[in-house]
């Protein structure tokens, strides 16, 4: 038995707060401390612990609970260990203190995104093991680095490794978002990040002259084309109450670059945009659209991609799909209302889906404002503990999905 924590606090909450105090904050996360914490969890739970260094200093930690039928593809429970930077002056409590106020709200960077889920997985497994339960499918818990900066030295490399293939994942759970209503959001796909830099070259000269064909005027035409497209998508979202944010393509102007002095007309200027492309968009046609905006702007306008994800996949949410049927039925048994959606941003689920593993994004936090990446990120301890209960029901359902035709 785990003893009660401070002032009779639930031991799962104590563990959660302990994990929140590990400063895995970008751009210099203390990954060593997180791995040591997870190794200790594995030791206490009697789980095997594998450490896979996917890049120098970037370790994926895998905790494994073997199933009774190891020939079946496994259940993968993924979470990331890193958290985004903080502006401490905007926080009412230290972002790495895991301060709990008298009402039970725990303030910390990572409280929602997504250290809560990591501990909920671990505590659900602890409960199930303590009850002597066993399930046909093996359960792997993966704790990955680097997600908050794109997963390029985390999940993106891990899915290409033999150690990942050896896990034989059949289905995965990963992060979702809080939902301020009574419902729980579940994500079956996500938008694709396209980071585009448009660069315009034109005639330079003295700032006092009417110079024709300048870089700035041509770049402005591209910017206007993109912003007109943005407004069209925004109106499409606003005019249809059934559409959620993830179902349309968003774009924001994030950087303008160029110029050397007030009185010099620059020869080169560029504008950077963050597009999030909806999963039903024809990617080739969309890229042609971007190219046509360059051509319409004039000679010497080109684009390049800083990021371009084209492997968009959707996980089935039809009742005939055994994984979805098991997930949704377990939720129904707990009287949870699900809202299936397309994730508006990007998570590590995209790398899992791209290698053919169906994945759902699910962070069981309802009646909770979405505060990921925000100042004063917080989570109520009762919502956190209910999440442990939810996984304690979900994991048996998913780890007991009978053998599928695709499993052989």
Beta carbons of 276 and 192 less than 8 angstroms apart: yes
d(CA 316, CA 325): 10
Give the burial class of 233: count Cβ atoms within 10 A of its Cβ; 0-12 exposed, 13-18 middle, 19 or more buried: middle
DSSP tag of 231: H
State the sign of the Cα–Cα–Cα–Cα dihedral 277, 279, 280, 286: positive
Please tell me which residue in 146, 147, 174, 190 is annotated as part of the active site.
Answer: 147
> How far is Cα of residue 224 from the mean position of the Cα atoms in its chain?
31
Beta carbons of 265 and 204 less than 8 angstroms apart: yes
Q: Indicate the helix (H) or strand (E) that contains 79.
A: strand 74-80
Give the burial class of 165: count Cβ atoms within 10 A of its Cβ; 0-12 exposed, 13-18 middle, 19 or more buried: exposed
Give me 46's structure tokens. Answer: 């009697």
Q: How far apart are the first and last CA of the chain?
A: 40
Indicate if 311 belongs to the active site.
no
Residue whose C-alpha is closest to residue 170's, from 72, 31, 251: 72
Q: Which residues of 243-254 are buried (b: 16+ CB within 10 A; e: fewer)?
A: ebebbbbbbeee
Please tell me which residue in 82, 113, 156, 174 is annotated as part of the active site.
Answer: 82
Indicate if 82 belongs to the active site.
yes
Residues with catalytic annotation? 82, 147
């Amino acid at each position: 038995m785990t003893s009660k924590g401070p002032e009779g606090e639930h031991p799962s909450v104590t563990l959660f707060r302990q994990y929140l105090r590990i400063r895995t904050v970008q751009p210099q996360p203390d990954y060593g401390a997180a791995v040591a914490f997870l190794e200790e969890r594995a030791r206490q739970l009697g789980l095997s612990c594998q450490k896979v260094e996917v890049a120098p200093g970037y370790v994926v930690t895998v905790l494994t609970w073997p199933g009774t039928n190891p020939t079946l593809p496994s259940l993968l429970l993924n979470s990331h260990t890193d958290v985004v930077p903080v502006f401490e002056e905007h926080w009412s409590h230290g972002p790495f203190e895991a301060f709990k106020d008298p009402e039970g709200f725990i303030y910390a960077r990572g409280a929602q995104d997504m250290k809560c889920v990591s501990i909920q997985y671990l505590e659900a497994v602890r409960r199930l093991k303590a009850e002597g339960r066993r399930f046909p499918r093996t359960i792997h818990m993966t704790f990955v680095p680097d997600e908050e900066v794109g997963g390029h030295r985390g999940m993106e490399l891990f899915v290409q490794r033999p150690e990942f293939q050896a896990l034989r994942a059949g289905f995965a759970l990963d992060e979702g978002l809080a939902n301020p209503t009574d419902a729980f959001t579940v994500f079956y796909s996500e938008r694709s990040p396209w980071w585009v830099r448009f660069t315009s070259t034109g005639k330079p000269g003295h700032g006092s002259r009417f110079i024709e064909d300048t870089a700035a005027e041509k770049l402005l035409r591209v910017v206007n084309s993109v912003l007109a497209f943005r407004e069209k998508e925004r109106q499409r979202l606003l005019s249809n109450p059934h559409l959620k944010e993830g179902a349309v393509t968003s774009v924001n102007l994030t950087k303008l670059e160029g110029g050397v002095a007030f009185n010099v007309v620059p020869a080169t200027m560029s504008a950077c945009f963050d597009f999030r492309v909806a999963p039903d968009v024809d990617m080739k046609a969309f890229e042609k659209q971007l190219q046509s905006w360059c051509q319409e702007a004039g000679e010497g306008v080109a684009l390049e991609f800083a990021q371009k994800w084209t492997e968009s996949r959707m996980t089935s949410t039809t009742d005939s799909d055994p994984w979805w049927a098991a997930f949704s039925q377990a939720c129904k048994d707990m009287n949870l209302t699900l809202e299936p959606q397309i994730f508006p941003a990007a998570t590590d689920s995209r790398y899992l889906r791209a290698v053919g593993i169906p994945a759902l994004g699910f962070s069981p936090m309802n009646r909770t404002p979405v505060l990921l990446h925000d100042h004063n990120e917080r989570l109520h301890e009762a919502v956190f503990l209910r999440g442990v209960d939810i996984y304690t029901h979900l994991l048996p359902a998913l780890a007991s999905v009978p053998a599928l035709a695709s499993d052989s």
